[in-house]
Amino acid sequence: MDTPSFSSIAVSLTGGLAIFIIGMGFMTQSLNSIAGARMKDLLSSFTRNRFAAATTGAAITAVVQSSSVTTVLLVGFSSAGLITVAQSVGVIFGANLGSTVTAQIIAFKIADAGPILMALGLAISFAKNRPRLSQFGVLTLGLGAIFFGMQLMGDATRPLRSYPAFLEAMQTIETPIWGIVIGLVFTAIVQSSAATIGLAIIFANGELITLESAIAIAFGANIGTCITAALAAIGRPAAAWRIVFIHIVFNLLGVALWFAFIPQLASASEIITDKILHDPSVGREVAIAHTAFNLINLVLFIGFTGPLAKLATKLVPEKQRATSNAAQPIYLDAIFLETPSLAIDRARMECGRLATLAIGMAEEIPIAAIQGDEASLKKLETRDDDVDDLQTAILNYLSRIDSDELISKDQEALNQVITLVNCWENVGDLLDSHVLPLGHDRLKTGLSISDETKDLLAQLHQNLLRDLRLSLLVTTEEDIAQAKLLKATKAPFNKLADYAENQLRSRLVGRDPDRMELFRLESDLISNLKHIHHYARRPAKQLLAKQARHTLEESPPPS
C-alpha cells in the first residue's frame, strides 16, 4: 500500500490540536468572565469541611473546564493567605473529578456541529452592548472550535489506520507505563490534559490504540497537569508549594493505585457504556474510565485530607523572606487577568498595601513637620516614591484587563478600585508635597511651635490616624457598618480642626511678624490635615453611594 504523507498528517494534526486548544482557551476565558465572582465566593465560603471543599473544587473545574485554572487559583489564594492548606486539599481532590466533564463533552460524536457552533458563537459574540450574551457567544465559539479541532485531528489520522508500520509502533503503548509517560509528557508540553485525553479518544475511536492504552494516557495526563500549578508557584511563598506538593502526591498515588487494574477498569467502563448508557463507543468508554478513576480516588482519599495537609506543611516549611522593596506588588498575578472579578479583587488587596504605605507616612511626617530636625525630614523625602510606584503598578495591572470582557458589576468594581488607588496616592502626595515642606519652612525661619499648639496638633493628628486606619478597613473589606462610622467622623474632626484654628487666631494680638509667620505654618498644617481627612473619608462615601444605587435598582417600581 502507499505510504501516507507524514508531513501532511503532521500539519493537519497540529492544526487541529491548535484549534482544539484555542477553543479550550475561549471556553475558559468566557466562563471565567461569567462565573469569576462566583468562583471567588465558592472558594471563600464553601471550604468549611473536606466534603464541601471537594464539591467546590469539582464545581469550579466543571464550570471553567480546567483543573489547572482551579489549582492555579488555589496557589494564588494560598499565597495571599485567603485559604488554608487543609481547605485546599479537598478542593484539589474535587478539581480532578470536575476535569472529567471535559472528557465527557469530547466523547460526544458531534464533530460535524463544530463549524455551525463556531459561526453561531462568533455572531453572538458581537453583541458587545450585552456583555453576558457576548461571553456566551465566546463560549459557543470555543465549544465549536473544540469539536472542529477534534474533527480535523480525526481526519488527519485516518490514513494511519491502515498503515502497518504505524500500527506496530502504536502497539508499544499497550505497555501501561509507556502510555502514562506519553500522557504526562504531552500534557506538560501543551499545558492541557483535555487536549491529551481528546487525542487519546480520537486514536481509540480510530482503533489506532486500545482502550487500555487510552486509559493509561489519561492517567499520565492527570500527572502532567500538575506542571501548570508548579509553574504558577515559582517565586511564591511556601503555602503555594504546599498546594503543588499535594496535587502531585494525590495524582501520583492515584495512578499508582490503579496501575495494575487498568484492564479491570477498561472492562467496567465497557459494561457501563454498553449496558447502562447504551453508547458503546470507545471514546465514551475512555471518558467513563477517566471519570470512574477520579471519582473513586476522591472517595478513597477524602479521609486523608488532614494528614496530607500536615505532611505538606512539614515537608515545605515556611521561610522568612525579606521584602527589599515596599513598592513591589505581591498580589498582582497575571494569571488572574483571565478572570476579571478576581483580578479586580487582587488589585483591591494591593490597594490595601498602598493604603498601609500612605498611613505609615501619615504617622511620621506631621510629627517631623512639627518638631523634627533636618535629618529626620530628609529621611522622609523619598517615602512618597513607594506610594507612587505601587500606584503605577496597580493601575498598569488594571489596564491589562480587557474592558470588553467586563460585565457591568465588574466594570463598577474596576472603577471603584481606580478611585481608591488615586485616593490613597493623594494622601501620600499631600503629606510629601504640602506637609513635609512646612517642616523645612519651620527650620528656615527658626520658629518654634508652642507646647499648647503642639497639644492641639497632636489631638488632630491622632484622630486623623484613627480615621485613616478605619478607611483602610473600608478599602479592603467593603464593610458598610465601618463605612458609616467613617463618614460620621467628618463633623467631629472638622470641629476639632476649627477649634485649633480659632485658638491660633486668638494669639495673633499685636501682629508680631514672627507670630504671623508661625500662624501661617500652623494654619497650613491644620488645613492640610483636614484635606487628608477628606481623602480618608472618600472610600466610605464611595461604598455608601454604591449601596444606595444597588438598593434603588433592587427596589420594586412604584405602582
- The pLDDT value recorded for residue 64 is 61
- Least confident segment among 177-191, 229-243, 350-364: 229-243
Distances from the Cα of 305 to the Cα of 49, 172, 246, 498, angstroms: 10, 37, 9, 60
DSSP class per residue in 326-374: TTS-SS--GGGGGSHHHHHHHHHHHHHHHHHHHHHHHHHHHHHHHH--H
With contact defined as beta carbons under 8 Å apart, do 113 and 149 qualify?
no
With contact defined as beta carbons under 8 Å apart, do 327 and 390 qualify?
yes
Give per-residue burial for 285-311: e unless 16+ CB within 10 Å, then b: bbbbbbbbbbeebbeebbeebeebbeb
Q: What is the pLDDT of residues 397-444, one digit of tens each?
A: 999 987 766 777 888 889 999 999 999 999 999 999 999 999 998 888
Question: pTM here?
Answer: 0.64
- The pLDDT value recorded for residue 188 is 81
Instruction: Name the one residue in this structure whose C-alpha cell is 484587563.
Output: 401
> Between vectors from CA 549 to CA 547 and to CA 555, what angle results, nearest 5°?
100
Dihedral sign for Cα 537, 542, 543, 544, please. Answer: positive
Mean predicted confidence (pLDDT) in 164-188: 75
- The pLDDT value recorded for residue 1 is 47
Percent residues over pLDDT 90 in the chain: 28
Q: What is the pLDDT of residues 122-157, one digit of tens each?
A: 898 887 677 778 878 888 888 788 778 877 877 776
Beta-carbon-side half-sphere exposure of residue 145 (alpha carbons within 13 Å): 22
Domains of the chain: 8-315 (no CATH), 334-554 (1.20.58.220)
Distance of CA 412 to the CA centre of its chain: 18
With contact defined as beta carbons under 8 Å apart, do 251 and 96 qualify?
yes
SS3 (DSSP) at 30: helix
- pLDDT of 82 higher than 70: no
Q: What is the pLDDT of residues 8-35, one digit of tens each?
A: 778 887 888 788 778 877 776 676 666 6
Report which of residues 304 and 83 the model is more confident about. 304
